[in-house]
Structure formats: C-alpha cells, structure tokens
Structure 1
Amino acid sequence: MKIEAKRDLRRLITVVLASLLMAINIKTFVRTGGLYPGGATGLTILIQRISQMYLPHEIPYSPINILLNAIPVYIGFRFIGKKFTFFSLIMILLTGFFTDMMPAHVITYDTLLIAVFGGIINGVVISLCLSVDATTGGTDFIAIYLSQKCGMETWNLILGFNVLILGAAGVLFGWDKALYSIVFQYVSTQTLHTLYRDFQRQTLFVVTDKAEEIAKMIFDETHHGASIMHAEGSHEHKDHQVLYSVIAADSARHVIKRIRDIDAHAFVNSIRTTELSGRFYMKPKD
C-alpha cells in the first residue's frame, strides 16, 4: 500500500506540474501567436475566439474544455482505466483553472518561434502525463483507446484530425495562423514520439547459444513471448539459435542489457516495428 501511495503521490505532483506548464504555454506562446494547438485544447481556444466575435465577453476556458472532454472522459472510465481517467480529469480541471487565473505574458512575437517552442512544450507536457499514466484529455483518450484496441500508433491519426480543426480556424481567422498551428502540432507530435515510446514496438533478433534462458527472461520482464529458430553460421558452419521477439520500445534497452548479462557473446539486432498484426500484450491502465 505504501508503494502504491507513493506512486499515486508522484503521479499527482507530475500532473499538477504538467497542468501548470500547459497553462503557461497557452497564456504565453499559444495566445500570443494566435495559434490553435489541436484536440480539445485547440477546439476550446477556437470556440473562445468565435465567442469574442459574437458575444460581449469571451467565454472562460474551463467550462468549454470540460464540456468537450465529457465524452473522452467517459471513454476513459469505460474502456481504459478508472484511476488513469481520474488523474487525467485532475489534469483537465487544473489546466482550466490555471489558464483562467493566470495573466497573459509575452515572451516573443515571432510566430515561427512560438510555433516551434510552443509545440515542444506541448509535446513535453503530453509526455509527462503519459509517463505517469494520465493524459491532457480530449483526443489523447481516443489515441490511447485505439492504441490499446488496435495495437498501433495513432498519434499521426490524431494529427490528421487536428489538421481538420485547424482548417476550420483558417477559414474563420486566416490561413497564416492555421498553417503555423500545423507546424506547432507537428513539432508537438514529433516531440511526443521522441520522449514517449510506450506504444512503439521493437523487434529483436538474437543469435545466441542460450535462447531458452533469454526467452524466459524476456517473458518474465515484459510478458512477451519469443520464437526460437535454428541457424548455421555461414563462415564457421557452427549451429546457433536465433531468437525472435517483439517488445515495447521503451523496454528494449533494458532487455538488451539483460541479454548481455546472460550471454556476453550474443549478436543482437534491434529493429523498429512500424506495423504489427496479431496478439500483443499491452499493460492495462489502472
């Protein structure tokens, strides 16, 4: 229980810091550049700017964002995990609170710099949340649900969905901001790919004489199986075993180190897997 309580406290602290960083990004880079980050956040900002055109006062960030996240939060509770969704909901509520309460601050008026560095911060925030099993809300819930159900990376699909939102912003408010927003979203997605690798796959080919021992280690460490094939070296014509396994990319470095501990002479070829069909173990969200 103590270990779980410490883990939950770490998750809570990370979520609070991430929500604060997200609000700072919105009130400095995003608002100054007139950008639309995509997802529920971008759609919230788009609705706020539409309200400025037709209403006496701008609608606050929080009520719009909470309303837009209602269905994604339901998907999270129903299909992903209750505690996972609970911490994500804290992220959504705190981001709205900080965004509404925090004064705007200008760092630079250069829109390209805003798109690049704002996108990096956005990607870091999403990665922070995902690293402690939470999300920033909105389309992140949908991306994780599809990743778990279909066993594929879906962040580029979400990027395509966000481009549609940005297209609507371009029609209403001008294409220059919409195009810079696409740069923002692309940088954010690539930052996420770099920092968070849980839904990426890595294929291992291991030439070894201790395949059974290595296969057991892989299963114990990652819950993934392996296939063992017999091979003959072309130079010395010695018999060897080739172990084939697909694991989560974030486990690859640790697994390769363990392989070296078992067989220092093993030949390991690690390849990124871009498409996977069939059964693949996914650690469930809590």
Structure 2
Amino acid sequence: MAQSEYMYKKQPVALTLLCVVAGALISALNINSFVNAGGLFPSGFNGLTILIQRIFSTFFNLEVPFTAINILLNVVPAIIAYKIIGKKFTLFSCLMIGLSSVFVDVLPLSSITYDPLLIGVFGGIFNGLAISIALKGNASSGGTDFIAMSVSVKTNLSTWNYVFAFNVCVLIIAGYLFGWDKALYSIIFQFCSTQVINLLHQKYKQMTLFVITDIPDQLCEELLIYTHHGITRFDGEGAYSRRKHTLLYTVVGRGEAKQIIRKIKEIDPNAFVNVAKTEYVEGRFHQAPIE
C-alpha cells in the first residue's frame, strides 16, 4: 500500500455527516433527559450555556434560548480552530453545534431517572460518547473541544484532563450560585465524560514499537513508504542463538499501531514486535492531518 493510501486516505463526507448528526442527537437527548432532570452542568460550552440560561432565568426572570447562547459562545473558538486545525473540521463542528443546539430546543424533555448519582454517571458516559463520535468523524462539539484539539495539533499531547480542570473551575461558580450538591454531582458527570473520551479518542496518543527482524532493509523500506514515521536501527546478537539480528525502533500514533503491526507481519512473519505505551514525545513526530 502506498503512503498516500494509508496516511492521507480521506474520510468519506457521508461518514462525517453521520457522526456529526449522531453526536448532536445523543448530546441533545443527554441534556434533555439527564442534565436538566438532575439540574447538572455538563462539560464544555454546553455547560457554560446552561449556566448562563439558569442565571438569566433565576436572577433576571428571562428565558434565553439554548441555541442563541451556545452559538454566540462558540464564535471565537471556531475562529481559532479554523486557523489552526482547518476549514472542514471547523465547518463540520459548527454544523454539530448548530444541530445539537436546535435539538435541545425542539426535542421534548424526558426524565429517565431523578437519582443524581445515576444521572452524573450515565449522563457523563453519554456526553463523552457524543463527543467521541464527533471526534471520530473529524468534528467536535465546539467550545473547549475546539481549544483542546487546537492545542493537541500544536503539541501532539492529549489535553482532555486539562479541559476537565477548566470545567471544575466553572463548576465552582455554578456551585456558589445554585448549590454545591449540583456542582459536586456535575464533577462526577464531567469526570465520567472525560474518561470516556480518553478511552475512545486515541488520535493524539503514541505507542513505541520495538521490532526484531532478520530482513531490516526490506522492512525499513516498506515501512518508510507505508508511514511518515522515522525508524532507528540497532544491530545486535541473540543471547541464546548467537545469531545476528536487527532491532528497529519507532514511535507511531496509537490509532496506527495495529495497522502497522499487521504490515510488519505481512513483510516478515517471523518478526518479534514489542509494543510499549509512550507517555510523551519531544522532537519531530509526524501527526497525520485531520483533513
């Protein structure tokens, strides 16, 4: 398989649209079924939008539409994403913002449970699932997702735990205004959401591959065509067999690892592959573009 076929194969627009619509629908149903029933505050700008709605409703006796606030809040992050991440990603993300906002306003409210702990856990799971589906389609739910993705593109680091910390700060305001019980249950909601995203969204995580082979020239040639990642060779000797072997060392994206390992085994069925989790990479590391 040529490099362009693997690294730059574009995702079908139909799949992206399906992910955007599904993510928006799940997000809206989650807000109308779990969030509003428990009086919680979800993560990101959805939570900030709900906080602003409740401030207007409680202190000014004004009912402000979810759509108007959410779209207004996302203007600046969308501009940032447009410049750093890309046009298609931003446009599809804006489509999800618009769809989810409209769905929240038009879909009926329906409470599945009023138990705050169940709402916090399962609401957080569904929120994380909605965001992960959008990210799978190379889109996002906007707001802090725009910011997190922009930072990840620049640094190749996962930033979702930092988003969680930011959301906790927002909840301090919500707790002060509307009661600490709702804020504390919202922390459970947001923690569950963050963990689901960390579990399902693997794009900005890396794995280290150690490959022992007897055909290093052929394997290196094929892998360098197959991916953009550099490879370092070490010559060694088996302690038991006393035979000469070559150790290949490379770092790849976690989402790429299984496909690359399959390619290695196609080229050299006798290759020994050790996969290790990579916490941090400093230096030049190729990240396949979103668009």
1:285 shift after superposition: 2.8
1:263 shift after superposition: 1.5
Which residue is 2:156 aligned to? 151
Would you say the 8 A contact 1:208–1:241 is kept in 2? yes
1:259 shift after superposition: 1.2
Would you say the 8 A contact 1:38–1:166 is kept in 2? no
Q: Do the aligned partners of residues 169 and 212 (structure 1) sit closer, same or farther apart at CA in structure 2, a change above 3 Å counting?
A: farther
Deviation string, structure 1 residues 48-95 (Cα, Å, up to 9, x no partner): 111111222321101111111011100111111001100000000011
Q: Do the aligned partners of residues 259 and 155 (structure 1) sit closer, same or farther apart at CA in structure 2, a change above 3 Å counting?
A: same
Tell me, yes or no, if structure 1 residue 63 matches structure 2 residue 68: yes
Q: Do the aligned partners of residues 222 and 116 (structure 1) sit closer, same or farther apart at CA in structure 2, a change above 3 Å counting?
A: farther
Tell me, yes or no, if structure 1 residue 136 matches structure 2 residue 138: no
Which residue is 1:74 aligned to? 79
Q: Which amino acid aligns with 2:168?
A: V
Rounded Cα–Cα distance in structure 1 between residues aligned with 2:180 and 2:269: 57
Q: How does 1:105-120 map to 2 (within 5 A)?
A: 105-120=110-125
> SS of 2:207's equivalent?
strand
Would you say the 8 A contact 1:200–1:273 is kept in 2? yes
1:5 shift after superposition: 10
Rounded Cα–Cα distance in structure 2 between residues aligned with 1:276 and 1:5: 26
TM-score by length of 1: 0.95
Tell me, yes or no, if structure 1 residue 9 matches structure 2 residue 14: yes
Deviation string, structure 1 residues 124-143 (Cα, Å, up to 9, x no partner): 11111111110000011111
Which residue is 1:160 aligned to? 165
Q: How does 1:1-286 map to 2 (within 5 A)?
A: 7-286=12-291
Rounded Cα–Cα distance in structure 2 between residues aligned with 1:123 and 1:234: 48
Would you say the 8 A contact 2:41–2:47 is kept in 1? yes
Instruction: Name which of structure 1's ranges 163-172 and 241-250 shifts more when overlaid on structure 2.
Output: 163-172
Q: Which amino acid aligns with 1:272?
A: K
Q: Which amino acid aligns with 1:264?
A: P
Q: Do the aligned partners of residues 146 and 265 (structure 1) sit closer, same or farther apart at CA in structure 2, a change above 3 Å counting?
A: same
1:232 shift after superposition: 1.5
Q: Which amino acid aligns with 1:237?
A: R
> SS of 2:257's equivalent?
helix
How many pairs are equivalent?
283
Q: Which runs of 4+ in 1 moved over 4 A?
A: none
TM-score by length of 2: 0.93
Would you say the 8 A contact 1:206–1:242 is kept in 2? yes
1:187 shift after superposition: 1.0
Q: Which amino acid aligns with 1:195?
A: L
1:103 shift after superposition: 1.2
Would you say the 8 A contact 2:19–2:136 is kept in 1? no
Deviation string, structure 1 residues 204-260 (Cα, Å, up to 9, x no partner): 011111223333333333311111111121222221100000000011111111111
Q: Do the aligned partners of residues 251 and 109 (structure 1) sit closer, same or farther apart at CA in structure 2, a change above 3 Å counting?
A: same
Q: Do the aligned partners of residues 177 and 84 (structure 1) sit closer, same or farther apart at CA in structure 2, a change above 3 Å counting?
A: same
> SS of 2:12's equivalent?
helix
Would you say the 8 A contact 2:211–2:248 is kept in 1? yes
Q: Do the aligned partners of residues 211 and 68 (structure 1) sit closer, same or farther apart at CA in structure 2, a change above 3 Å counting?
A: same
Would you say the 8 A contact 1:225–1:245 is kept in 2? yes
Rounded Cα–Cα distance in structure 1 between residues aligned with 2:219 and 2:143: 41
Q: Do the aligned partners of residues 68 and 7 (structure 1) sit closer, same or farther apart at CA in structure 2, a change above 3 Å counting?
A: same
Alignment RMSD (CA, Å): 1.5
> SS of 1:241's equivalent?
strand
Where structure 2 has 5 or more consecutive residues not aligned to the other structure, the ranges are 1-8
